[in-house]
Structure 1
């Protein structure tokens, strides 16, 4: 088994806070997700999380005009210049304070960042200047009387408009201009939320938090500003020449010039020149003030305008409010086009695509990201993660889907290929504690603390069965047998195990005997056995035979409370994690202990800000709360209340690899030691309340004893935890349900240049493979390519073999070579265009060999074939669509053929519309 797992993608969390923006082509949305950045490709219906991360959550991001560079700044002012071509960080810089906004200039030479009451203008790496160093300071402005909130560049990249909390808007220049040094404009009665220049003009639009929109007209044109810049260079040369002249020469020249003026009578001309210079100075005139939030404020007097965005090409202004309502206005007449309420929570960020047809909204309170097409009034994408932490997850038997449950009571189904959620179930009224997929892939089961176990159909997307107990019980775990006919669930407050029939929904038996809450139940994964294992906090596990004699059980005593139990894929061994940090292995048939792993020291201490004990003492409380066997049963994966996920070898009982799921210091218990600067004689400064902008502030003190599902309105740092880990059935990836979301780790993620040959011989080289292919020796070339174990070489051999010779070539391969070839072809099917040729290879290997292939190889092949079938079946099924958008003072009718990728909303099932709330 290979162990080079790398971070691949982040699911379950689509938006945290900060700026969202479109790429230059308008097909992708870039969203900050905690300390990571996710790119959602709306055209290809895929999401990709970039591999790098920051030490704190990102808040301000922007893309350069050429689309190759991304600047991202976290909440502590640490900026990263990122190359979107290589997806790597090329430079770093510290602003030492929080950055409210950052913006590239239209020509790509500069970018501006505003921190507190200061505005920085720095050079950006670009080909125009030939300067590829980042963060070189150009100018610094500290003229505002309060915090700067927003900024925008003019089309000529000469002027910068900055809005602040002091209700003023100021104009700054990159270069020193005679006709403008600094210009300030008032007119608002609340802090400025957005400032926008018109396209190829110096006219301004300013928007404040109380819903006021002011229109400003400049007295000079943008071309005149460029000409004045040229005149300034000449004036600077004249000044330098005057400084070189002596004082006597200057006096003589002045006397001669005065005499000439008196003689020619040029006093009137001098006055004209003075007036011309005054006319060239930039002045703004207020054309009007509009109140766009009055109708909302009548119903909710505390409503605030929280975000604004302006599209310069279509002159369209989009404003979002704290109640989840957004307005769409046509400027400069301020005609209302559309009004829509997307949620009941604050809209913190708005982005408009370059063509102007798509609008993206971000709601941080519920973690929602929406992309709306305003012309057809349809959702292009509507995604929302769990509002609270995930508690459990389960892979589908083919590895194509992942089902997650959370403290918010919602159950979501995610596509591992696209990374999107396509259906959400919200029937549970309390936290979901366990999720299990059926072996036939048709349904899954979820248990909850609300006293129900629900069965969900993946064909019709509905809750078709609800299993309950005679008395109300909080179910802490659930499991399905290999035949998908029996369901078992353990109680948390009632120490019994309940057994139901899925087909009839009838309670078959109640298994008693435990003296403490049941922490886990699991059925044997093989059809030949009907064993049920239950683990409890009473320091024991019980082995039940549910079919033959359900009343009798075998009890195995443990050294500590049992937290989790899992079967090996062959059903002959179980692993039990206990509260003392150990993982113990038992033989199911005999009940004897076969091995043990002591992994408490591997988890790490992870000291919280509120902890008053030492890290050594905290380490004694660590244990594996979730464990899982690998697909081949040789390794076991474990995680707990720590940032580490440990991979152990079962046979040698040693640690193979330790994965650090996050370095985000915005979470609690990430560092092993507390910063001594926070420790004072009065205690830890992390316990001091921090007041925000809202009335009453945000209190950062947690309720006593409350750790999970705290619904109070306080500003609490989430604690880093691993709630659940699961290996995919194919064995090439595993998923981690943690505080930040659903983290995916895969063997095929990133660029891995490690050379891992298989039965390598001296004659097996890439050059030898090319020579054999040129001579037509397909079998020898394919064997050499498999021995090299290079995907590119195998692809070259597979595509070179003629279709007529495929069967003969496969018949000469050994069984182990055939298994590796089938696994390589399943990876080639994901991106290759030679679909029919690869399917001929698959058919030949399966029909010629006629043997039992490894399950993980067949599952990987089934997964990629299912995806290909779903993609091909959608071709030609999207008819032309007529879209009509009608608004106040605006009417637009357009007939267009929408592509299948954009027509189907991400977040909607192919059968019916299911919108995650």
Structure 2
């Protein structure tokens, strides 16, 4: 059913960037493309018009990225589960295909870098592996390897090749800073420790000067060490007084010799390479994790931990935000009723409103230290209703983000599901304790109409029938209950051996469909609660999100297998599959015009697809 003969969904746009990957944002030597990771995917984005290409091949989140000096190759490493090998992939840039898969490291690949002539790739394993391996790019074989650091020091965090010598590279980390020389004849690498005297530092990043004379090391204590590469001795360390708060996270050297410095507190600075005196400075929201130079460094790009990308000009040194996205898992998505132009998503502490055609956020609503678990647009488009883990329901204006209403103590153990009626007069909410509550919205407030008790575990999803007379709630205990929300009684219950994740009403037929951790999609008769049909929704992992088209002819699913699937409702077969997500799909929605499909995932990605079955009307 999920074979290669099933047509692929046409991917249109991806919102997202994993800003937690050190030096994850790169500019290709052609100066036309940005390269960056998102989940298990590498994205190539054309700077001029935003057109995107995607490199798929990793089975888990990408942990490091490097681009060869010629631009012919991209290398990326990933994390994996304990006890499993973590792969390094070399990509052919021109063909956009996998050139080689290299497997020696355990659990995680910490860093990769190419030699200046593209002949070799050096890779560094994570803390559980702590080995360095040199690979021959042409033969796709390992040349040699060695433990990354001595037993008396901590683990290694980063590695970088020399700019002029393909036999020399540098590694650094917790109490370790080494210059390595490749002995190709004997297939060995020999390490020489750099002498830093009494200075004991954890080095997070290194940058080697263009002539290979000096190594600059950014440390967790907020200073920069300058090491003479030939003598392996400490040349200087600074700044002495105004150290960078929360450490130096990224360094880049400009053609002028000055240093670009990014810190853990979001400070981004140009400083003198001799005395580390700041020359220009700007404050960003979150930790700077990437700096990518474009051409002669008159323009450069900066990536932050909060999944933001900025463009800078060297002369004015002003930050232009070119991309922003969720830095954590997206918990839910909602389409604005009656229009296919706006949608909203929610994550840890914010709600964001997006325009379908432009990958830029229109509005961000932030509630610090709280998590938004679910959201919905009221059908008149005048408000966004949202569920929060602090037990409150918050209603916001979608244009200004103004808080219009807050319902305190809506559910004791957090609000987990929410939906609004078509007449915009009621909100139905579900909580962690298993209760379903019906709220009436009033001109200057709200009142609780009824508490519906029937579930014994968290309510995962609530959907309201089109006539506003019934709703269905799905719970993690394995029960779905259909409620009469006029008389406030339960009409029917369906039970399955699963943790229900989502439920939908069919718009024309008196049926509901459910999905959950048993990987099944089940059709139920809403009158008598009998199972009508059972489909294999996924071959691996739970089905987390589901939505039925407005004409009822098709529905879509997404789950832990990272696949987006379009189904024919009557035939019960998959018509199209989408394969771009790098994390578990968390929610999925079809626009009201049946032309666009929006899916979100646990890696913070939002993806827009072309829906393959547009309405005939």
TM-score for the superposition, normalised by structure 2: 0.77
1:305 to 1:490, Cα distance in 2 relative to 1, 3 A: closer
Match of 2:395 among 441, 448, 455: 455
1:633 offset after TM fit, Å? 1.2
Deviation at 1:10, TM superposition (A): 4.4
Match of 1:533 in 2: 471
Secondary structure in 1 matching 2:242:
helix
In structure 2, the CA distance between the partners of 1:563 and 1:343, relative to structure 1 (3 Å rule), is closer
In the TM superposition, what is the alpha-carbon distance from 1:541 to its structure 2 partner?
0.6
Contact 2:505 2:513 in 1 (8 A): no
CA distance in 1, matches of 2:597, 2:321: 26
Asked if 1:102 is matched to 2:38, the reply is: no
Following TM superposition, by how much is the alpha carbon of 1:197 offset from its aligned partner in structure 2, in angstroms?
A: 4.5
Residue in 2 aligned with 1:307? 250
The answer on 1:78 being equivalent to 2:87 is yes
Alignment pair present for 1:120 and 2:134: yes
Match of 1:213 among 215, 219, 225: 225
Query: Aligned pair 1:543/2:484, yes or no?
Result: yes
Q: What does residue 82 of structure 2 align with?
A: none
Counterpart Cα distance in 1 of 2:448 and 2:111:
61
Q: Go from structure 1 to structure 2 and tell me whether the alpha carbon gap of 1:70 and 1:439 turns closer, same or farther (over 3 Å shift).
A: same
Matches within 5 A, 1:805-844: none
Q: Confirm or deny: 8 A CA contact 2:324 2:360 kept in the other structure.
A: no
Query: When the two structures are superposed, what TM-score results if normalisation uses the length of structure 1?
Result: 0.54
What's the CA shift for 1:424?
Answer: 1.7
CA gap of 1:62–1:493, structure 2 versus 1, over 3 A, is closer
CA contact (8 A) 1:498 1:509 kept: yes
Q: Corresponding residue for 1:37? A: 42
The 1:495–1:205 alpha-carbon spacing in structure 2 relative to 1, beyond 3 Å, is closer
Q: Is the 8 A contact 1:32 1:38 kept in 2?
A: yes
Distance 1:134 1:317, change over 3 A: farther
- Structure 2 CA distance, aligned partners of 1:120 and 1:578? 47
- Taking the TM superposition and a 5 Å limit, the aligned residue runs for 1:761-780 are none
Q: 2:168 aligns with which of 149, 160, 164?
A: 160
- 8 Å CA contact retained: 1:394, 1:403: yes
Q: Which has the higher helix share?
A: 1
2:148 and 2:20 map into 1 onto residues whose CA distance is 32
The structure-2 alpha-carbon separation of the partners of 1:413 and 1:333, relative to structure 1 and needing over 3 Å to count, comes to: same
User: Which runs of structure 2 are paired with 1:748-759 in the superposition (5 Å)?
Assistant: none
Q: Is contact 2:203–2:217 with CA below 8 Å preserved after alignment?
A: yes
Q: Is the 8 A contact 2:178 2:191 kept in 1?
A: no
Cα deviation, residue 107, structure 1:
4.6
2:551 pairs with 1:632: yes
Q: Deviations over 1:262-291 (max 9, x none)?
A: xxxxxxxxxxxxxxxxxxxxx659794132
Residue 797 of structure 1 is matched in structure 2 by none
Say if 2:375 is the partner of 1:402.
no
Listed as ranges, the matches of 1:170-209 within 5 Å are 170=179, 172=181, 185-187=194-196, 189=199, 190=201, 195-199=206-210, 201-207=211-217, 209=219
How far apart are the structure 2 equivalents of 1:162 and 1:286? 14
Cα deviation, 1:733-758, whole Å, max 9, x if unaligned, reads: 53333323345363589xxxxxxxxx
Deviations 1:171-208 (A, max 9, x none): 647999xxxx9987534633555554544x35224325
The question of whether the paired residues in 2 share the 8 Å contact of 1:122 and 1:139 is answered with no
Q: Residues 315-351 of structure 1, C-alpha deviation per residue, up to 9 Å, x if partnerless?
A: 1212344444444212345332134553565x54443
* Structure 2 Cα separation of the partners of residues 23 and 141 of structure 1: 30
Mapped to 2, the partners of 1:430 and 1:72 lie a distance apart of 34
Give the number of aligned pairs. Answer: 577
Tell me if 1:23 matches 2:8.
Answer: no
Tell me if the contact between 1:152 and 1:196 (Cα under 8 Å) persists in the aligned partners: no
Contact 1:395–1:437 (Cα < 8 Å) also in 2: yes
1:577 aligns with 2:514: yes
Q: Which has the larger radius of gyration?
A: 1
Q: Give the C-alpha shift of residue 52 in structure 1.
A: 0.8
- Partners of 2:292 and 2:302 within 8 A in 1: yes
1:556 to 1:735, Cα distance in 2 relative to 1, 3 A? same
Instruction: Provide the C-alpha distance between the structure 1 equivalents of 2:435 and 2:597, rounded to a whole number of angstroms.
Output: 32
RMSD of aligned alpha carbons: 4.4
Aligned residue runs from structure 1 range 287-436, under 5 A: 288-292=235-239, 294-296=241-243, 303-311=246-254, 313-343=255-285, 347-364=288-305, 367=307, 369-373=309-313, 375-381=315-321, 385-386=325-326, 388-396=328-336, 397-406=338-347, 408-427=348-367, 430-436=370-376
Gaps of 5+ in 1: 124-132, 218-282, 545-549, 607-621, 665-719, 750-819, 824-852, 856-917
Determine helix, strand or coil for the equivalent of 2:454: coil
- Please give the alpha-carbon distance, in whole angstroms, between the structure 1 residues aligned to 2:307 and 2:286: 12
CA contact (8 A) 1:351 1:359 kept: yes
> What's the CA shift for 1:510?
0.9
- Looking at secondary structure, tell me which structure has more strand per residue: 2
Structure 1 residues 854 and 138, CA gap change in structure 2 (3 angstroms): same
